[in-house]
Amino acid sequence: MAEAVHTTCPYCGVGCGVLVTDLGDGDYQVKGDPDHPANFGRLCSKGSALAETLSDQSRLLYPEVNGEHTDWDTALDRVADEFKAVIQEHGPDAVAFYVSGQLMTEAYYVANKLMKGFIGSANIDTNSRLCMASSVAGHKRAFGSDTVPGNYEDLDHADTVVLVGSNLAWCHPVLYQRLALAKKEHGTHVIVIDPRRTATCDIADQHLAIKPGTDVRLFNGLLAHLDGRGCVDDDFVQRHTKDFGIALDAAHLGGAEIATLARDCGVGTADVSAFYAAFERSEKIVTVYSQGVNQSSQGTDKVNAIINCHLLTGRIGKPGCGPLSVTGQPNAMGGREVGGLANTLAAHMDFDPVSVDIVERFWDAPAIARAPGLKAVEMFEAIHDGRIKALWVMATNPAVSLPDANRVREALAICPFVAVSDCVPTNDTMAFADVVLPSTTWGDRDGTVTNSERCISRQRPFRTAPGEAREDWRIICDVAARMGHGAAFAFAGPAMIFAEHAGLSAFENDGSRDFDLSGLTQLDPSSYDALMPVQWPVLSSDADGCARLFGAGGFFHVDGRARFVAVHHKSPTHDLSAAYPLVLNTGRVRDQWHTMTRTGLSPRLAQHRTEPFVEVHPGDAAAYGLTDGGFATLTSRWGEALLRVRLDDSQRPGSIFVPIHWSDTNSANAVIGRLVSPSTDALSGQPESKFTPVRLCAFHPKWHALLVTREDVDVGEADYWTTITGTACSITTMAGTGEISDWESWARQRLGGHNSEWLSFCDPSGGRHRFAALRDGLLTAAVFISPRADLPSLDWVQTQFGLDALDDLARAGLLAGRAAGDAFDPGPMVCSCFSVGINDLRRAITQDQILTVDAIGEALKAGTNCGSCRSEIQAILDAELPPVICDSPHQAVA
């Protein structure tokens, strides 16, 4: 067996180390790297399923111009010519790059260098604008630099961990497991602040289901409370900070009385008091925050409201203490380091004259950008008004992920030239591209990434790039050369780019800037290849990196002091109204990554949530006539969607939750970005993706259909359809209101293909029809139609596709639409790693009386690999177990 390659996971910002072993025949074994400091061997469900995403069939293999396969020279010439022509006629600000936290640092660096140093515009922005921009702005206001002061180890040491707007259990699962272990071992107190009760709440001692958008009010109240209770670290505040008084006055302005602010935040007074008391008594406290904080029109203020409380208590930069912004994408941090945001220049330098001069000289730049460029939402607006005429999108899918996605699609459609670099054959954005460039991706790309705790790790290739896919850095350098900048982009490989990037960070730095890789400027290709994970700053005097900053001050404002920032509560940009009475909250599910271009390839990951959905509180559902498993149309001022309804009392009444993952590539009317408000935080430019006023309306289809096939289905017209990758098949769920007179020909039309045998069952009066197609005894397609949403279980149908030949019982089962005889249906998947379904778990609980999560793990293995499903197993246990019956009311169990 080949030796394992050490690399990192391409998904979330935890940045787990991964060991990949080539098993031959295109098979790979993927395991957690026991030596990587981010995960010590653990992986979550997404990381564990990485080997399922590696097939060459799922890759974009050749460059395309106007939809036609072409050679690299033609494609690169076209991009360079279009950009040159626009720049010549309209100036450098008429072109733009829209890039991504999923690029390697090296590609990110050259893209930024090309735009800001050689094209002469700062119109390069990144999808991190939708993700981390508020954290960046908040860090810079407070610290004078975009620095994450602490690290993951702080979660092990903390007495209390507060999670604000973070569903850590699903979005940073390995960190969540680490916190859960810390809690088990020494009782860490966990507090979750989130309008929804998420899976993360399973380890919470306290959950404050605040009214959406009231975080500033809550943390201002905390600041005033801590001050009133004598928790000020006078020495730290006096020596290392400024503006405490102003921030405190602002905190008092809205009224610091707990009862009033608890009412404003929509939670109980006792709950707020308990939270404040926990913060007050915990010397070691970490506040983890994520998109519930950042994706808000007051995202930056939310960040500073949190940081203010850590500065007041001096609980920052010491073991077990500090604000911890967890990043989303694998290289969100790397992007910030190179300057991928339009309002930063490079290497954590901005557009002040001193920085511009430093970067200009270091790059020997012929056309240095001297002012910030357009931020993501503005960039697409600038296409609408004709200011931007050529756009290059790299490693992001803005037609799905930007707010007001209909308008973004219009911009892509009217933009005179659009190039897209991606690794998959198709996504919603590529449909608008004039030129499509096939890039390498996880498995074949080579570079570095930086995770949430400033840890730089190598991402190493372990397979040859399929087709003609090329490294992103190379594609960018090739275009740069064609634009006349060959010498400045003559990099032989990623090691050389990294060394230059490190060189810029160190250039005339002398401790004046936080981002300093002076200890890494001498890396040659072999030492780059051998680079071990290291946390920046990495100084030439201390090449081991740096675990924490700011414990003894040393902030990066010119006076070395941190700033308290006076913040005031403001309402979200668009208020609720009679026409749009509900808050649309959007986010993630456990087993999918963003627009599903890669996780969508894994049959295992597809089983957890099989359809686009809206989660609605049962009270709201009753008011709008919605039922569990039915459908609802959602409408906002900006767009519409049609989704499956899930009743869920973990929603705050008045708020609904919709995942961001589904696109036009795999569904109809399920792109939630079409509805999301394009309003942004005035400071950070980050969209308010967690608060859009919407209305709900019940939708009643006349028919429901399930099509399970080995080959692609031609869906045709339907109000609702969605397709997922199943085991040995593809599964399409449909529903519609159209009248269909002949279901048999409807089914045959959609399946196509050459089948030797056709089985059918029709009950026209009952509206139920079932068809199966076979080829040489093997099931190739099965279609089930019903007037109700009572279609067969997906797990049972997929099992039929795993059978070598269908016996009479199996054929009868297909026509009956359910397991014939006594075959057991495992039900919807809960544990993706070991394929354990909900019915397996229910049976273990009720029949075998296995009554704890650990015991279930021993019996069924469920929850014992990545642990991502442990909270769901607990919820199933809670639901199945009979309530405790007490003999006398006095013995009631709490």
Based on the shown chain and the rule CB under 5 A, indicate whether residue 133 belongs to the binding site for Mo ion.
Answer: no
Nearer to Mo ion, 328 or 545 (CB): 328
Nearer to Mo ion, 131 or 614 (CB): 131
Nearer to Mo ion, 131 or 642 (CB): 131
Based on the shown chain and the rule CB under 6 A, indicate whether residue 12 belongs to the binding site for ligand SF4.
Answer: yes
16 interface partner picked from Mo ion, ligand MGD, ligand SF4, none, CB below 5 to 8 A per type:
ligand SF4
750 interface partner picked from ligand SF4, Mo ion, ligand MGD, none, CB below 5 to 8 A per type:
none
Site string for ligand SF4, 37-76 (x = CB under 6 A): --x---xx-xx-----------------------------
Nearer to ligand SF4, 16 or 869 (CB): 16
Question: Is the CB of residue 63 less than 8 Å from the CB of residue 74?
Answer: yes
**Euclidean distance between CA atoms 253 and 250, whole angstroms:** 5
Cα separation values, 140 from 137, 307, 361, 564, 876, Å: 5, 11, 25, 11, 44
**Other CB atoms closer than 10 Å to residue 238's CB: what's the count?**
12
CA 382 to chain centre: 26
Least Å from the CB of residue 14 to ligand MGD: 8
Based on the shown chain and the rule CB under 5 A, indicate whether residue 328 belongs to the binding site for Mo ion.
Answer: yes
Nearer to ligand MGD, 172 or 318 (CB): 172
Question: Is the CB of residue 747 less than 8 Å from the CB of residue 769?
Answer: yes
Burial 752-765 (b: 16+ CB within 10 A, else e): eeebeeebeeeeee
Question: Is the CB of residue 385 less than 8 Å from the CB of residue 357?
Answer: no
Based on the shown chain and the rule CB under 6 A, indicate whether residue 167 belongs to the binding site for ligand MGD.
Answer: yes
**HSE value, Cβ hemisphere, 13 Å, CA-based, for 774:** 18
Based on the shown chain and the rule CB under 6 A, indicate whether residue 216 belongs to the binding site for ligand MGD.
Answer: no
Based on the shown chain and the rule CB under 5 A, indicate whether residue 299 belongs to the binding site for Mo ion.
Answer: no
Nearer to ligand MGD, 127 or 573 (CB): 127
**Euclidean distance between CA atoms 65 and 499, whole angstroms:** 34
CA 321 to chain centre: 26
> Could you tell me which stretch among 190-198, 343-351, 612-620, 755-763 binds ligand MGD (CB under 6 A)?
190-198
Least Å from the CB of residue 718 to ligand MGD: 24
> Could you tell me which stretch among 167-175, 524-532, 745-753, 811-819 binds ligand SF4 (CB under 6 A)?
167-175
Handedness of CA 481, 486, 489, 492 (dihedral sign): positive
395 interface partner picked from ligand MGD, ligand SF4, Mo ion, none, CB below 5 to 8 A per type:
ligand MGD
Site string for ligand MGD, 582-601 (x = CB under 6 A): ---xxxx-x-xxxx-x----
Report the residue closest to Mo ion, judged by CB: 328
Nearer to ligand MGD, 610 or 760 (CB): 610
Nearer to ligand MGD, 292 or 857 (CB): 292
**Other CB atoms closer than 10 Å to residue 700's CB: what's the count?**
10
CA 275 to chain centre: 28
Least Å from the CB of residue 265 to ligand SF4: 30
Identity of the amino acid at 227: D
DSSP 428: T
Of 11, 109, 380, 784, the one binding ligand SF4 (CB under 6 A) is: 11
Size of the site for ligand SF4 (CB under 6 A): 14
Of 395, 566, 582, 877, the one binding ligand MGD (CB under 6 A) is: 395
Based on the shown chain and the rule CB under 6 A, indicate whether residue 438 belongs to the binding site for ligand MGD.
Answer: no
Based on the shown chain and the rule CB under 6 A, indicate whether residue 466 belongs to the binding site for ligand MGD.
Answer: no
| Sequence-separated (6 or more) residues with CB below 8 Å from residue 477 | 110, 489, 490, 491
Cross-strand partners of 722? 667, 733
Nearer to ligand MGD, 105 or 295 (CB): 295
Based on the shown chain and the rule CB under 6 A, indicate whether residue 16 belongs to the binding site for ligand SF4.
Answer: yes
772: left (phi over 0), alpha (psi -120 to 50) or beta: beta
DSSP 818-874: S--TT-----SEEETTTTEEHHHHHHHHHTS---SHHHHHHHH-TTSSS-TTHHHHH
Size of the site for ligand MGD (CB under 6 A): 58
Question: Is the CB of residue 467 less than 8 Å from the CB of residue 62?
Answer: yes
| Sequence-separated (6 or more) residues with CB below 8 Å from residue 700 | 630, 631, 737
- Of 12-51, binders to ligand MGD (CB under 6 A) are 12
| Sequence-separated (6 or more) residues with CB below 8 Å from residue 714 | 749, 750, 752
Task: Return residues touching Mo ion (CB under 5 A).
Answer: 131, 328
Task: Return residues touching ligand MGD (CB under 6 A).
Answer: 12, 100, 102, 127, 130-131, 164-167, 170-171, 193-196, 198, 212-213, 215, 290-292, 295, 328-329, 394-398, 400-401, 421-424, 427, 439, 441, 445, 472, 585-588, 590, 592-595, 597, 660, 672-673, 676, 689-690
Task: Return residues touching ligand SF4 (CB under 6 A).
Answer: 9, 11-12, 14-16, 39, 43-44, 46-47, 172-174
